Amino acid sequence: MSGNNKVIVVTGGTKGIGRAIINKFAKSGFDLITCSRNEEELFDLQKDVKNTFDARINVVAADLSKKEGVDQFIEFVKMVGKPVEILVNNTGRFLPGEVHQEEEGTLEELMNTNVFSAYHLSRGIIPGMKERKQGYIFNICSIASLNAYPNGGSYTITKFAMYGMSKALREELKEYNIKVTSLLPGATLTASWEGVDLPEARFMMPEDIAELIYSTYKLSERTVVEDIILRPQLGDL
């Protein structure tokens, strides 16, 4: 990795919002570290980023829904050997259903993927940020962190929890000059909406979220955007 480039860690970087963030920060001169469960998709991403942006990107296959997968990714980040400037907790999964009748184990599965992954990874990355008194954490929450919606079930529960964790980190870390921003996007054109019979124009683009993250990061040290709510122009789906 280049000696002068700052490092951004993005979980779930091969698709959707994560991929858009990777592209934006690669174009902006950052070195990148990301993970996914699919090794083939990671290698395709690595090749595309190197060819398109001439950027440095390190990838590793890791299942962050499991604590050992998070630990493996933390060790990989440490092995890269450069301070983490930005952490984006993006890994997430949506399963439709209703709390009172969804499949047994849905809550546990989604908590592991949507909340515990970010919790454990943040705990692994934050000590280095505290030591340097510098860093930025972006947590990808959801509009479901604010309002329940039909068939949201356990996904809504996990996104409320993610937003709560993000608020807690903001209070805990501000004295160390570490910024924490919660992003709460509505319907975005990602794999979660594959197969839905709706026009693309009804969704937000992942690139808009990536642009907003970059713009927020570039604000002066004296300012932090705590919460960002984004919705499709025509409203929630």
- pLDDT at res. 123: 98
Q: Where are the domains of the chain?
A: 7-230
Quick check: 131 and 83 in contact, CB under 8 A? no
- In this predicted structure, the answer to whether residue 195 has a pLDDT above a threshold of 80 is no
- pLDDT at res. 3: 60
Active site members:
155
* Arithmetic mean of pLDDT, 70-84: 97
Model pLDDT for residues 145-165, shown as the tens digit of each residue: 999 989 999 999 999 999 999
Model pLDDT for residues 130-148, shown as the tens digit of each residue: 999 999 999 999 999 999 9
Distance CA 206, CA 103 (A): 30
Distance CA 152, CA 94 (A): 8
| C-alpha triplet 231, 234, 237: angle, nearest 5° | 70
Distance CA 97, CA 3 (A): 48
Residue type, 74: I
Q: CATH assignment of 7-230? A: 3.40.50.720
* Arithmetic mean of pLDDT, 59-74: 98
Q: Quick one: angle between helices 153-173 and 117-132, nearest 10? A: 10
Residue 86 pairs with which residues in a beta bridge? 8, 136
Distance CA 212, CA 230 (A): 10
Nearest to 232 by CA among 206, 211, 210, 212: 206
Q: Which is more confident, 4 or 121?
A: 121
- pLDDT at res. 197: 73
- pLDDT at res. 189: 80
**What is the Rg, in whole angstroms, of the alpha carbon atoms belonging to the chain?**
17
